[in-house]
A and B are shown apart, each in its own frame.
Chain A
Amino acid sequence: MLQLAVRKQLPGFTLDVAWEAGDEVVALFGASGAGKTLTLQCLAGLERPDRGRILVNGTVFFDDGTGTNVPSRRRRLGYVFQGYALFPHLSVADNVGYGLHDCSREERQRRTAEMLERLGLTGLADRRPRELSGGQQQRVALGRALAVDPELLLLDEPLSALDAPLRRQLRTELMGVLREWGNATVLVTHDLAEAFQLADRIVIYDGGRIVQAAPKSELLSRPASEQVARLLGVRNILRGTVLKATPEIIELSWRGYVLEAINSPIRTYLPLPGTEVAFFIRPEYVRLIRKDRPVDPGHHMNRMEGAVVREVDQGTNWTLLVTLDHAGTPAQGDHDLEIEVPKLVYEMLEIARDRRWAVSMHRGSIQVLPAA
C-alpha cells in the first residue's frame, strides 16, 4: 500500500502530485521532464520534497507536518536506476549482494546465489558489469534491488537502454519477475506499450502534475481529457459543436456534417447545445465504403466523401490521410482524417490507383471527450 502526496519546487519546475496504489504495478507515464523520476527520488529519499507525505505499507517515510524524513538507507526500497548504475568495480555477485552487508557472510552468499539463480545469472557471478550485455545488466540491476527483499520496487525506465527487439523480449521477462514478486512496484516510463504491458494502473504526468490516474483498462476507452488523449497518442482528435445531447446520443456538427455518437454511460452531465467539444475516432475504426457493394444506409452511418491526399506505408498497415470534399480548412492541417487499413485491404481495393472514397464511422466508435 502506497500513498504519496508531494510538492517540490525546482528552478523553473514544480512537481505537485498525489496518487496511491495497492500491491500492484503502477506506471508513471509521461514525456521526459514531466517529473516522473523526481517522484521516484522523493519516494526513495534521494530528494527531499518541500511539502507532502509519503506512506508505504503503514510506515511514514516523509511528512513535512511532523518533520519526518526517513533516510534512504532505512527505507528498504529496491531502486533500479535508469542505465542501471551498476558498480563497475564489483563483480556481478558483489553487485547483487551489495545491499546485504548487514547479513552474515554465509547468509549473504546464500541469498546472492539464490537471486543469481532466479535471474539466470549463475554463470556470470564473477564477471564485471562492463562484460555483460544490456539485458544481463538489466537483470543484475533487478537482482541487486530485489536481493534486499524490499518493501517497494522502483524501476526507472528499466528497458529504455536496450535495442527494440531485445526490449520486447525483456519486457515479457520483466513482467514475469514482477508478477512473481507480487509487491508494490512503481515503474517510470515514457513508452506507452511498456506501461500497458507491465502496469495494472497508470498515472499520467504532464509538466509536474497528474492529468489522470486510472486502471489501465479504463484509460484508453475513457481518457479524462483531450490532453490525456493526446498524451496517450490518440489520433484523429477533432473538435465539433454540440447540436443535441441526450443520455444516449450526442449529435455533433463537424466540417458541415452531422455526426451521431453514443454518449458515455458514465458521463455525469450533458453538454449544452452550441458548446464546442473534443471527440476522437481511432484510425482503424474509420471504414471505407466499397464501391462494388450496394449502399446500406443502416450500416453506413455518419457517411462522408473525400480524397486520399497522402499515404504512409506502416509495414503491415497503410495509413491514409483523407481530405473531405467540403470547402474550408481541413481539421488536421492538410487533412481531415487518418484512416488505417490493413495492407491486404489496401491492395484489394487498389487504393494506390483509386483515390476518391466515401467513408463512414459507426456511432459507437466516436468518443466524445469531457470538456477540459
Chain B
Amino acid sequence: MDAFPILLSFQVSLAATVLTLALGLPLAWVLARRRFPGHDVVEAAVVLPLVLPPTVLGYYLLVVIGARGPVGRLLDGLGIELAFTWRAAVLAACIGSIALLVKAAQAGFEAVDRRLEQAARTLGRSEWNIFWSVTLPLSWRAVFAGTVLAFCRALGDFGITLMVAGSIPGLTQTMPLAIYDYVQANQMREANLLSLVAVMTALLFLLGLGRLARLRF
C-alpha cells in the first residue's frame, strides 16, 4: 500500500484549512457584525455547499476553473495550473468545509457582547485591533471547533475533489479517493487498511484537539 494518499490528504487538508480560515473568518465577522442588503443571500450561499450534492458542485466548479472555464483560462494565461492538480484538491476541500467554519465562527462572534467592542472602540483601538484583542479571544472556542470540523471535512472530501482534481494516483488521489479506488478494484485488504488509517487519524485528531480545548464534538 502506498502512503502517498495519506500524506497528500494531510497536506491538502492543512492547506485547505489555512485557506478556509483566511476566507472564512472575515466572512463570518462581516455576517455577524454588519447588516447590508443581501445579507441573508450571502448567509444562505455559504451553506449551499453543504446542501448541494458534492459531484454537482464539483462539476460546476470544474466548468469554471477547467481549461475551458473563465477562471481556468485566466490562470492559464498567468502560467498557473489549477484543475487536476493538488491545488484544485485544496480548493475543493475548502469549498466543501468553509460553511462549517463560517457558521461556527459567526455564532461565536455573535455571542461576544457588542458593548465590549464598543468599549474598545472608545478606548482608541482600530477595528482590526479590536478583532484580535477582544472578539477572537472571547470566541476562540467556537472558532477552534469550527476549524477542527472544517479540517475533518476537508480530510474526508470525496465528490468535489473527484471532479476538479480527478483521482490521479501519485498526483491528486487523496485518501478517500484511494479508498474508493481500492474498493472498486476489489482490493479490500488495502481498502480496509487505508480506511483504518483514516478513522484512526480522525479520531486521534478530534480527541487530541477536544482535550486541548475541552470541547465536545
Say which one of A59-67, A79-87, A324-332 lies at the interface with B.
A79-87
A69-113 CB contact bits vs B (8 Å, 1 = yes)? 001111111110101010111000000001101100000000000
Q: Out of B115, B124, B125, which one reaches A81, CB within 8 Å?
A: B115
What CA separation (Å) do A250 and B116 show in the bound complex? Answer: 56
Of residues 80 to 131 in B, which have CB atoms within 8 Å of A's CB atoms? 113, 115-116, 118-126, 129
**Are A101 and B122 within 8 A (Cβ)?**
no
State whether the Cβ of B138 lies closer than 8 Å to any Cβ in chain A: yes
| A contact residues around B53 at 8 Å (CB) | none
**Are A89 and B138 within 8 A (Cβ)?**
yes
Of residues 110 to 168 in B, which have CB atoms within 8 Å of A's CB atoms? 113, 115-116, 118-126, 129, 133-134, 137-138
Report the minimum CB–CB distance from A175 to chain B (whole Å): 23
Query: How many positions in chain B have a CB within 8 Å of any CB in the partner chain?
Result: 17
Q: Out of B122, B133, B137, B138, which one reaches A72, CB within 8 Å?
A: B122
**Are A85 and B129 within 8 A (Cβ)?**
no
Main secondary structure of the interface of B (DSSP, over half): helix
Residue in chain A with minimal CB distance to B126 = A73
State whether the Cβ of A144 lies closer than 8 Å to any Cβ in chain B: yes
**Are B134 and A87 within 8 A (Cβ)?**
yes
**Are B118 and A85 within 8 A (Cβ)?**
yes
What CA separation (Å) do A98 and B137 show in the bound complex? Answer: 14
**Are A144 and B115 within 8 A (Cβ)?**
no
**Are A85 and B115 within 8 A (Cβ)?**
yes
A99 and B116 in contact (CB under 8 A), knowing A89-B137, A89-B138?
A: no
**Are B124 and A102 within 8 A (Cβ)?**
yes
A101 and B125 in contact (CB under 8 A), knowing A85-B113, A87-B134, A88-B138?
A: yes
What CA separation (Å) do A102 and B123 show in the bound complex? Answer: 11
Report the minimum CB–CB distance from A32 to chain B (whole Å): 16
| B contact residues around A41 at 8 Å (CB) | 118
Partner-A contacts on B (CB < 8 A): 113, 115-116, 118-126, 129, 133-134, 137-138
Q: Which 4 A-B pairs have the closest CB atoms?
A: A99-B123, A72-B121, A85-B115, A79-B122
Residue pairs across A and B with Cβ atoms less than 8 A apart, 13 shown, are A45-B122, A46-B121, A46-B122, A72-B122, A75-B122, A76-B124, A79-B122, A81-B115, A81-B119, A87-B120, A99-B123, A145-B122, A148-B123
Extra A-B contacts (16), CB below 8 Å, given A73-B125, A78-B122: A41-B118, A72-B122, A73-B121, A73-B123, A81-B118, A83-B115, A85-B113, A85-B115, A87-B116, A88-B138, A89-B137, A98-B133, A99-B124, A99-B125, A101-B125, A144-B119
